[in-house]
Amino acid sequence: QSALTQPRSVSGSPGQSVTISCTGTSSDVGGYNYVSWYQQHPGKAPQLMIYDVNKRPSGVPDRFSGSKSGNTASLTISGLQAEDEADYYCCSYAGAYTFAVFGGGTKLTVL
Amino acid sequence: QVQLVQSGTEVKKPGASVKVSCKASGYSFTGHIMYWVRQAPGQGLEWMGWINPSSGATNYARNFQGRVTMTRDTSITTAYMELSNLKSDDTAVYYCARVRLVGGTSGVRYFDFWGQGTLVPVSS
């Protein structure tokens, strides 16, 4: 059982927007602004998409955005494209001794 | 450019050990802590521990303490993860990942680069 809770799956049609939630506690997501999101295509390594809740690394399209409210972080993908179909994982800092906690992952299907 | 290149697939029997390598290039190897993360088939990500390549200091997740050893060879900018007494549920892809730390801690701000992964099937 993962420390952070994500929906098992979400779906959307090309051009639409989808939001993936990541719910933790005040000891992780709610306590720090260090939530990151990773995209993973089948058979590939995870790739950083969002860090520090809402910052995008260079090269990541601005269709990807992140936010946080209380103990829940969210990743929103607007203007869905076929290549966005992948698994998405959230990760949060959880204090100086826990180091990090992951979500269980969400499978995004582009219909 | 930053690259983390891992060793290839290792097929193991229960009770055996496996040692996975992660060759780093394109950045200062001793300037960044390296985490090891594993992913069982169809499952999520689980961090196993980390090593500070500069000092050799390590910290292991509770689930792996006593079975995992992380080391490094700075002369060849390579990190290693050895897992002993393998069980069938250790079947997974093992990743090394460079981390950006939360200031003043060894906690994860984010993982910015990942190795390609090493598959370790464990089966009798």
By C-alpha distance, which of B6, B1, B99 is closest to B50? B99
CA dist., res. A62 & res. B16, Å (int): 46
pLDDT confidence band for B107 (50 / 70 / 90): confident
Task: Tell me what pLDDT residue A2 has.
Answer: 64
CA dist., res. A82 & res. B90, Å (int): 33
Q: Percent of chain B scored above 70 by pLDDT?
A: 100
Asked if A1 is an interface residue toward chain B (Cβ–Cβ < 8 A), one would say no
If you average pLDDT over residues B29-52, what whole number do you get?
Answer: 94
Surface-to-core class of residue A103, CB atoms within 10 Å of its CB (0-12 exposed, 13-18 middle, 19+ buried): buried
* Interchain contact, A51 vs B44, CB within 8 Å: no
List the single best residue of B5, B36, B45, B118 to mutate versus A (max A Cβ within 10 A).
B45
Residues B62-89: tens digit of each pLDDT: 999 999 999 999 999 999 999 999 999 9
- State how far the alpha carbon of A32 is from the alpha carbons of A7, A16, B36, B101, B115, in Å: 22, 30, 23, 13, 27
